[in-house]
């Protein structure tokens, strides 16, 4: 498996205290077409790490490489076409639903694949939404799904999914998971998910990265992470989630 994105020694200082790292020494590789889940408690810096991978935020240490070329050799916009961050809080651009769906093709000068946009909207249960509706009038869950379709239409090599299904009702969440799994198989694109839902993590993840105490403590197969975590921290994390589910 070729490595698509490589991180070497990535660190981010805390904004409050420039002597302290939020996380450091993050070295890992995203394989082509691989589905990885990034787990860890709130506030560990998972979103920040994904934003660094998408070059929406700068690292304070370390280097990134995409397709074997260091970040310095990529124009940020070209990098972001390939490594696309889907934000936790969806941002709708001014205009209609159709305008939002066409954004990527306009920005990147590619033809708009309308049949694909229709198909993706349908698969996410948005087939009934008029494309001339003002995007800002959509519900939060609708915005989240339109933002996802908008991202998929760009066909990035790596999708960074930051709690993308967290605000969806159970049926829409299942539809989004199905679509993303199918998409990764069909398009061969890689996905790096942040989720707090461990059953979703088992469902979608081939690999798990576990961030705690400012370090990427585990990088392993999903099966191994859930059945036999190597560190006490991961064991406690998995156990606490299981206890919470059972109301212990």
Ligand X SMILES: Nc1ncnc2c1ncn2[C@@H]1O[C@H](COP(=O)(O)OP(=O)(O)OP(=O)(O)O)[C@@H](O)[C@H]1O
Q: Which residue is nearest to ligand X (CB)?
A: 42
In the complex with ligand X, the residue whose CB is nearer, 48 or 103, is 48
Residues in 37-76 that interact with ligand X by CB under 6 A: 40, 42-48
Distance CA 146, CA 92 (A): 8
- Nearest approach in angstroms of CB 111 to ligand X is 35
129 secondary structure, DSSP code = S
Q: Under 8 Å CB-to-CB from 62, ≥6 apart: which residues?
A: 7, 8, 9, 10, 11, 25, 26, 27
Contact between 12 and ligand X by CB under 6 A: the answer reads yes
In the complex with ligand X, the residue whose CB is nearer, 89 or 134, is 89
Contact between 103 and ligand X by CB under 6 A: the answer reads no
Chain-centre distance for alpha carbon 225: 19
Contact between 214 and ligand X by CB under 6 A: the answer reads no
Q: Under 8 Å CB-to-CB from 241, ≥6 apart: which residues?
A: 198
- Nearest approach in angstroms of CB 77 to ligand X is 22
Which member of 5, 7, 10, 22 binds ligand X (CB under 6 A)?
A: 22
In the complex with ligand X, the residue whose CB is nearer, 47 or 164, is 47
In the complex with ligand X, the residue whose CB is nearer, 40 or 156, is 40
- Nearest approach in angstroms of CB 236 to ligand X is 17
Distance CA 6, CA 145 (A): 29
Binding-site residue total for ligand X (CB under 6 A)?
13
Contact between 14 and ligand X by CB under 6 A: the answer reads yes
In the complex with ligand X, the residue whose CB is nearer, 96 or 144, is 144
C-alpha distances (whole Å) from 214 to each of 74, 116, 182, 229, 241 are: 28, 40, 33, 18, 20
In the complex with ligand X, the residue whose CB is nearer, 45 or 229, is 45
Contact between 189 and ligand X by CB under 6 A: the answer reads no
- 61-66, strands of its sheet edge to edge: 21-31, 3-13, 61-66, 69-70
CA dihedral 181, 184, 190, 196 (to 10 degrees): -10
The footprint of ligand X (CB under 6 A) covers 12-15, 22, 40, 42-48
């Amino acid at each position: 498996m070729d490595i698509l994105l490589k991180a070497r020694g990535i660190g981010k200082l805390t904004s409050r205290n420039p002597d302290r790292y939020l996380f450091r020494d993050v070295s890992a590789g995203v394989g082509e077409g691989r589905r990885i889940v990034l787990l860890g408690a709130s506030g560990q810096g998972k979103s920040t790490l994904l934003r660094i991978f998408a070059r929406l935020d700068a690292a304070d240490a370390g280097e990134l490489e995409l397709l074997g070329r260091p970040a310095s050799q990529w124009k940020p916009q070209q990098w972001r076409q390939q490594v696309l961050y889907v934000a936790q809080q969806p941002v709708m651009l001014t205009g209609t639903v159709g305008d939002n769906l066409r954004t990527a093709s306009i920005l990147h000068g590619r033809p708009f694949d309308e049949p694909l946009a229709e198909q993706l909207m349908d698969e996410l249960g948005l087939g009934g939404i008029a494309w001339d509706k003002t995007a800002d009038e959509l519900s939060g869950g609708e915005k989240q799904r339109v933002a996802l379709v908008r991202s998929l239409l760009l066909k990035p090599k790596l999708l960074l999914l930051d709690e993308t299904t967290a605000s969806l009702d159970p049926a829409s969440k299942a539809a989004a998971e199905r679509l993303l799994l199918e998409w990764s198989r069909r398009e061969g694109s890689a996905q790096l998910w942040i989720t707090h839902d461990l059953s979703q993590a088992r469902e979608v993840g081939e690999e798990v990265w576990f961030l705690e105490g400012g370090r990427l403590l585990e990088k392993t197969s999903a099966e191994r992470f859930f059945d036999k975590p190597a560190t006490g921290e991961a064991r406690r994390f998995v156990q606490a989630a299981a206890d919470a589910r059972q109301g212990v």
